[in-house]
Chain A
Amino acid sequence: MYCIHCGVKLQENSGECPLCHTPVVNIPMPGRQETAYSDRYPVRESQSGKMILLGLVTVILAATALGCLIFCLKSRQDVAWSGYVALGIALAWIWFVLPQWFRRWRPMIFLPVDFAVVAGYLLYICGKTGGDWFLSFAFPVTMMAGVLTIGGVAMMRYIVQGRLRLMSLLVIAIGLSFMLIEFFQHITFGTPMFVWSLYCVTVFGLIGLFLFAASFVPPLRAWIRRKFFF
């Protein structure tokens, strides 16, 4: 019995050609035929062990946070330092434990959540300590770090072509972000400008410009690949 499309010889009990899926007409039915593979399917590995461990970690962390809160409320009639501990534990849980509950790590969902949580934590500290540095320093710096991290991860995961060029732009952006950090520091705390950020901008800028130039010069690109492959 041959496939009329591919010309290959088929097994006698084939209902269709496994290559082009052309149906076989007048299939001979001589009763039960032996098949090349069995009907046995592998049992899916149980996730219960991991789930129990994650549950245990969650319970321990929650108990620690709750214990601190109750201790402070009882002894000082105030949340006091326990707020930092409880929220810090919540932050650590969101960063490290929460993604483990999911089958796949989805950076485009988890990373924005992670940085939003950090911003929230800093807002709490700012409010509790009576500072006014959140809006002019902590928030923009956190957001900047978030955007650069998400951009970098997205580039590595989803972009196949022109990575070197994008990486060079990212390196330059990281360099410029140091200058912005110093600017926010300047307007918030009154520190002088251009004390340390210029060094960062220069180093990152030069690396970035070199990579950018290299992305247009095939021999230089090949040299980088040859020297820095891993």
Chain B
Amino acid sequence: MKRQWYRLDNAALIFPAVMRKNWNNIFRVAVTMKDRVDPDILNRAIEDLLPRFPTIFVKLRTGMFWYYLETVQDAPVAEEDYAWPLTPMPRKKLKKCCVRILYYQKRIAAEFFHSVTDGTGGMIFLQNLAARYVTLRYGTEIPPEGSIADLTEEPKAEETRDCFQLCGAKASVSRAEENAYRLRGNPEEDRFRNIVTGIVPTKTLLEKAHEQGVTVTAYLAAVLAMAVLERQKQDPPRRRKRHIKITIPVNLRKTFGLKTLRNFALAVNIGFDPLLGEYTLEEVCRLMYHQLAAETIPQRMAGRIATNVDLQRILLLRLTPLPVKTLCMRLVYAVSGESKGCLNLSNMGEVRLPEAMAPYVERFDFIIGVQYSYPNNCSVVSYGGKTYINMIRGIRESELERLFFSRLVEEGIPVEIESNRR
């Protein structure tokens, strides 16, 4: 295969700069099949996908001024899953391949370094991997429709481009905003990650959100914000009551009508000031819904893209050697990178598969890793009438999850809980 290289897209620039020995920004998408996974067939499926997804099968390389991605020559080999998701992907591994394919019993998982793609891109890749696996394992041809690509075709130019460079507005939007409350706890040993999955019926969740007149994302963000607020009330009284804000990554593909397999999402922080008074869930739902709607209009998103892209285009900055740039980015990230939100809530939405593929697939999961400085994150995906809410944490205390899921139960949504804790 021809060796190709790609500049990091605008959103991807920060991730190699801020990664540490035991932490980097990675996420996982997983599909659970109806039968146990055959690793040999899975490896053949990975090899078949290699030429069609050149921006996914890449390794991280270091240039004089920037990091860049280079296509790998050999497909990564699937390995058995670990006791917890998103084990660190050290620099040594990223230099070989930035994506990791794992299997365990009936589950196939793909873990990505965030410089490669975002959740949506990762999910498209996983669906294609699962489709190829189904074809090889059961002989069922999956038609190239929806997210499923035609593997005989060449990769499309629109899939490999950095869409941030196309969508910036002429004016930029300031990034200044209030710092958010910081969740804390006792770190787990050996970087163990607790994962608690709440499985809820999508229909009931939708009904509850519609009762409040809001979207599912706004509803879940409101319930999560209420849980964080309760958690904040348990803190010693002298600790400052900072804003409760939830960070919501927004998929820009729909906003700008573009298709890419690389990063094309921006995060918005929505929330409220707890010092202004008491809040009910109804009020927080409305607050979240309207803030989200106001923040995600295309014009504002374009302005925020311009803020990021303009910075990247400054000649002096571009000519600064990579180690200096890395140092600066690390400093900036340490000071303000993770201080604007309490935790992420990333809602992938509903996964739709071709009819021919549906009988072989049981469920999907989407998990984002914890940030460097805050210990909880939440990610959501729906499939087959169920919504899978994955809450990951790097601390021992499960109070936030308890408050969140028990609130959903109180609201009349049945929750089934799974955990990797033994």
Binding site for B on A (CB under 8 A): 3, 6-11, 14-15, 17-21, 34-42, 44-45, 160-161, 222, 225-226, 229-230
Contact = CB atoms under 8 A, between A and B. Distances in A.
A15 B90 CA distance: 34
24 contacts: A3-B417, A8-B409, A8-B417, A9-B414, A9-B415, A9-B416, A9-B417, A10-B416, A11-B419, A14-B419, A18-B401, A18-B419, A19-B401, A19-B406, A19-B417, A36-B197, A37-B81, A37-B84, A40-B82, A42-B82, A44-B190, A45-B21, A160-B240, A222-B176
A19 B414 contact: no
Contacts of A39: 83
Q: Is the interface of A mostly helix, strand, loop or mixed?
A: loop
Contact of B418 (A6, A11, A45): A11
Given A36-B197, A37-B420, A226-B174, A18 B398 contact: yes
Contacts of B410: 7
A229 B176 CA distance: 7
A34 B105 contact: yes
Contacts of B417: 3, 8-11, 17-19
Q: Which are the 3 A-B pairs with shortest beta-carbon distances?
A: A18-B419, A19-B402, A9-B416
B88 interface: yes
A156 to B, nearest CB: 8
Contacts of B88: 42, 45
Contacts of A6: 402, 405-406, 409
Nearest to B331: A230
Nearest to B80: A40
Contacts of A15: 422
A76 B414 CA distance: 88
A180 B306 CA distance: 47
B82 A21 contact: no
A36 B419 contact: yes
A178 B201 CA distance: 68
A8 B176 CA distance: 40
A10 B416 CA distance: 6
Nearest to B410: A7
Given A8-B416, A45-B90, A18 B421 contact: yes
Contacts of B105: 34
B87 A7 contact: no
Contacts of A230: 332, 335-336
Nearest to B194: A18
Contacts of A3: 417
B196 A18 contact: yes
Contacts of B240: 160-161
Interface in B333-371: 335-336
A98 B58 CA distance: 36
Contacts of B401: 18-19
B330 to A, nearest CB: 12
A226 B176 CA distance: 6
B332 A8 contact: no
A11 B418 CA distance: 6
Interface in B114-143: none
B83 A41 contact: yes
Nearest to A13: B422
B2 interface: no
A54 to B, nearest CB: 15
A113 B329 CA distance: 29
Given A7-B406, A44-B190, A226-B176, 4 more contacts: A6-B405, A19-B402, A42-B88, A160-B240
Contacts of B422: 15, 35
B402 A229 contact: no
B90 A19 contact: no
Contacts of A37: 81-85, 104, 195, 420
A35 to B, nearest CB: 7
